[in-house]
Structure 1
Amino acid sequence: MTGTSSTSLSTAYSPCPNDTFTFHAWAHGLVPSPLAPEVAFADIDVTNGLAERGELDLLKISYAALPWVLEEYALLPCGGALGRGCGPLVLTGPDASADPADLAGRTIAVPSERSTAYLLFRLWAAEAVPGGLGGIVVLPFDEIMPAVGDGRVDAGLVIHEARFTYQRYGLRSLADMGEAWEAATGLPIPLGAIVARRSLGAERLAELASAIRASVRYAWANPEASRGYVLEHAQEMDPAVADQHIALYVNDFTADLGEDGYAAVRGLLERAAAAGLVPATAPGALDFPGA
């Protein structure tokens, strides 16, 4: 690691290109930091559960999971995934109805019941599927498209690089949750959050945010440096798809949430709480202690 000594933080984020690209420099000691991540890779459904159980120091989780973890974890103002034109998609088979109302009573595969994708889907479905949904099946995100393709489920809610690859499975997009969210709010889509233990204290949290910002900036300045790390963990993803993934999900909000980012997070949680889908967030709970 850069420097003479460091404090290790138990850390989990996904093997997806946006996370490996974002955290590569910090994880490999290429930016100055007194803190060093001990990295485990895990799907978002796993990291959401780890956060709810308070098991690690630093995690990438769904923004939808925040209401259950904010007492123990602070939301970091950087490192996460927000954006425009990058929302989850509802996919169906090529012969399925193009009317969202016909999802009533159907079985839907989702990446996590605590995922932002599923929360956006529930907000959308409350209006678009007045007959109510059928069963919900939780699958790892990379198993959803095959499950739709072979008819094990009627539709699938997909995230990440599935935006670029679903046609290969003979599937079609029934609805774009990001388009629905942006049309309703005008705000970017909050997808993945970075959280860290509040018990680390304000000084350590500020150092952590600085390290992550430095890692993002290093990745932008040296895009080839992280390529091996990205492709090693990208589940045999086409390098061109990995590049599309990074370009879409690593953006200005990754370096700093800013006013629009925080407005998007508050908007999502307030709408979801009003619909009875998540607990209400306490005043000030989203504020960063290390500011």
Structure 2
Amino acid sequence: MKIAFSPCPNDTFIFHAWVYGLIKGAPKLEVTYADIDVTNSLAADTGGPDVIKISYAALPWVLSEYALLPCGGALGRGCGPLLLTSDKLDTACDPKMLAGRRVAVPSERSTAYLLFRLWAAQKIPGGVGEIIVMPFHEIMPAVRDGSVDAGLVIHEARFTYHMYKLTLMVDLGRWWEEDTGLPIPLGAIVARRSLDLTAVTGWIRDSVRYAWAHPEASRDYVLSHAQEMSPEVVQAHIKLYVNQFSENLGETGYQAVISLLSRASEAGLVPDATLQKLRW
């Protein structure tokens, strides 16, 4: 079975047991490790992987071929994307200063960018000047070096942006939580509708539970794919992004997904994605 997910600690921690053949009855995996912008594109291809990690923002475009699985993804509180600026640009107190500026984002179909667009529609009436897509690990250096004026970052960047002497303009996850009272949906696990979705869901849940029961078992595997992170940052990353919703979205999780995609659809940013399309 072909699967694609990021090399980030939360994904490698979750899927370690399945990748290493530790889940009873689960088929052998052929893994592609790729940045979220790449996996979003893979899901849009007719020959994409059987199971894939994508942004929730990309979900409406792939629902005809892929089904949302209620586990394995990234959804939670206090884990949203951050909008960062350089100390050289005094924008921290006035988002309108971003009007006409260059902003780097990790993917045009990322949840981070979708949240940014919803936030910017309220805070920057004139809009930013130019959106530049780049791999998320290149964004903070680009902001620091002045090649872009602001950057939208995800994952472990919330633990490391101070190292680049960057300034937090807004925590978009906090903005979302205060506005809706709901957790923020970041990354979804989807599987081809032709598969036995109940079985795939069970294998992923078993892999999550194995990871929790044997946290040291995946250590070398996780660290090997997180080469630029310290072990402390890796553990903080896992603790933040692997939570109750990783095992089961539940009603709160589905409510958060519907709220995000409904708002985005009403704003004309994504196709309509009803609850009926999200459940199977």
TM-score norm. by structure 1 comes to 0.94
Task: For 1:254-269, list aligned pairs within 5 A.
Answer: 254-269=246-261
Q: In structure 2, what is the equivalent of residue 59 of structure 1?
A: 52
Task: For 1:1-291, list aligned pairs within 5 A.
Answer: 9-54=1-46, 55-97=48-90, 98=92, 99-200=94-195, 204-282=196-274, 284-287=276-279, 289=280
Deviations 1:174-216 (A, max 9, x none): 001001101111000000000000011xxx2111111110111
Give structure 1 regions of 4+ aligned residues with deviation exceeding 3 angstroms: none
Deviations 1:152-193 (A, max 9, x none): 000000000000000000101100100110111100000000
SS in 1 for 2:277: coil
- The one-letter amino acid paired with 2:23 is V
TM-score norm. by structure 2 comes to 0.97
- The one-letter amino acid paired with 1:64 is A
- Contact in 1 for aligned 2:258/2:275 (Cα 8 Å): no
Distance 2:204 2:106 in 1: 26
The sequence identity of aligned pairs, in percent, is 66
Segments of 5+ residues of structure 2 without an aligned counterpart are none
SS in 2 for 1:190: strand
Deviation, 1:277, is 0.5
Q: In structure 2, what is the equivalent of residue 4 of structure 1?
A: none
Distance 1:140 1:34 in 2: 32
Distance 1:110 1:220 in 2: 32
- Contact in 2 for aligned 1:82/1:192 (Cα 8 Å): yes
- Contact in 2 for aligned 1:47/1:61 (Cα 8 Å): yes
Deviation, 1:130, is 1.5
- The one-letter amino acid paired with 2:53 is K
SS in 2 for 1:194: strand
SS in 2 for 1:157: strand
- The one-letter amino acid paired with 1:274 is E
- Contact in 2 for aligned 1:35/1:208 (Cα 8 Å): no
Deviation, 1:282, is 4.2
Segments of 5+ residues of structure 1 without an aligned counterpart are 1-8
Deviation, 1:283, is 5.1
CA-atom RMSD in angstroms = 0.9
Distance 1:37 1:100 in 2: 45
Distance 2:95 2:108 in 1: 20
- The one-letter amino acid paired with 1:57 is D
Deviation, 1:94, is 1.0
Deviation, 1:260, is 0.5
Distance 1:33 1:50 in 2: 26
Deviation, 1:18, is 0.1
